[in-house]
Structures are given as structure tokens and as C-alpha cells.
Amino acid sequence: MSLSTILLLILTGLLAGSLSGFVGVGGGIIMVPALVWFLGYSQHQAQGTSLAVLVLPVVFLAAWNYHKVHPLDFKAVGIIAGAFIIGGFMGSKMALAIPADIVKKVFGVMMIVAALKLIFGK
């Protein structure tokens, strides 16, 4: 792996982590596009890599900072995490069953819908 690739990966991680800690997003919004556009990953590879990063407790310190000021509901965290495991498994199976260009379009539409909802929603 070249030094420039390592630096791009570090920059991607720092940006995704900062955005995740700041507004609660990062993997899909930062990592996936960065891996596709700047490092030449396929859509499937980028999504898998973004998910694999979450296997490690990468956002523990950010979540802990929030918990110290606004206590988190760990029961809700557990329920969502359990459902996330099942949903992540099913979603990855669906994504891998269809061509990457369709997955990329679905991903783009989801980002647009989320952006519009955040900008114009209540």
C-alpha cells in the first residue's frame, strides 16, 4: 500500500470520525464516497469497508462524550444494535445480489432524500 493511499485512508477516517462525532454520520456519507471516488473501490467494496470499520468500537469515545452530558438509553442502544445486526445481514445480502451501479443509484437517492429532509423538514 502506497504512502499516498495510506494518507487518503487516514484523511477519510479523520473526516468520517469527526463528522460522526459532530452530527452522528460519517460511514455512509464520507467513507463510501471517498473510497469510491479517491481510491477506486467498487460500490460493494466501499460499503463493506465502511461496515467493517464499525466492527471495532471506533465511536466509543464520541458516544461516551454524549453520555456524560446527556445520558444514553442503553436499553434502546441494545435493541437497536440487535436489530441492526439482522438488518445489516439482510441488507448486505440484497446489495450483493444486485449490480453495483444500481446500489450506487439507491445510495445516491437515499443521500438526497436525507439531505432534503434535514434541510426542509421540521
Structural domain including 7 reads: 3-120
Write the single-letter amino acid at 28: G
- The Cα 101–Cα 112 span in angstroms is 17
Tens digits of residue pLDDT in 22-72: 777 777 888 889 999 999 999 999 999 988 888 888 889 989 999 999 999
C-alpha cell at 118: 434535514
CB 46 within 8 A of CB 35: yes
State the CB neighbour count (10 A cutoff) for residue 96: 12
Cβ atoms of residues 3 and 13 within 8 Å? no
Read off the pLDDT of residues 4-20 as tens digits, 9 standing for 90 and up.
Answer: 999 999 998 898 888 78
Q: How many domains does the chain have?
A: 1
What pTM does this model have?
0.77
Any idea what DSSP says for residue 54?
T
